[in-house]
């Protein structure tokens, strides 16, 4: 069975729509509700500081990658080209 371009575009669009990407507000809320010990452990693993307001783009990407892998269960993690 052949698939038309229209069907392929619809399938791709649905796949993109199904993939949730956490927004910064979700990450900050998740971060704020963690225990201090969990914050320190994740900060050490992702190599970021404890204050999300001071994170640069690389640090945000690192934390989002961790969140996607651990909290959302996507073993591929966050990849800018794939997720955006």
pLDDT (tens digit, 9 = 90+) per residue, 10-60?
766 665 555 567 778 888 999 999 999 999 999 999 999 999 999 998 898
- What sign does the dihedral 49-53-59-64 (CA atoms) show? positive
Note the pLDDT of residue 33.
92
- Phi then psi for residue 19, to 5 deg, are -80, 115
Contact of 62 with 46, CB cutoff 8 Å: yes
Structure tokens at 58: 């690389």
Residue 81 binned pLDDT confidence (cut-offs 50, 70, 90): low
Domain boundaries, the chain: 21-83
| Rounded-to-integer distance, Cα 4 and Cα 84, Å | 25
């Amino acid at each position: 069975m052949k698939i038309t371009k229209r069907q392929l575009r619809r399938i791709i669009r649905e796949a993109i729509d199904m993939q949730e990407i956490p927004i910064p507000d979700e990450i900050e809320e998740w971060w704020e509700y963690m225990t201090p010990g969990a914050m320190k452990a994740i900060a050490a693993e992702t190599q970021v500081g404890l204050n999300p307001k001071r994170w640069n783009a690389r640090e945000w990407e690192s934390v989002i990658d961790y969140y996607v892998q651990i909290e959302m269960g996507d073993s591929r993690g966050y990849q800018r080209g794939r997720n955006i």
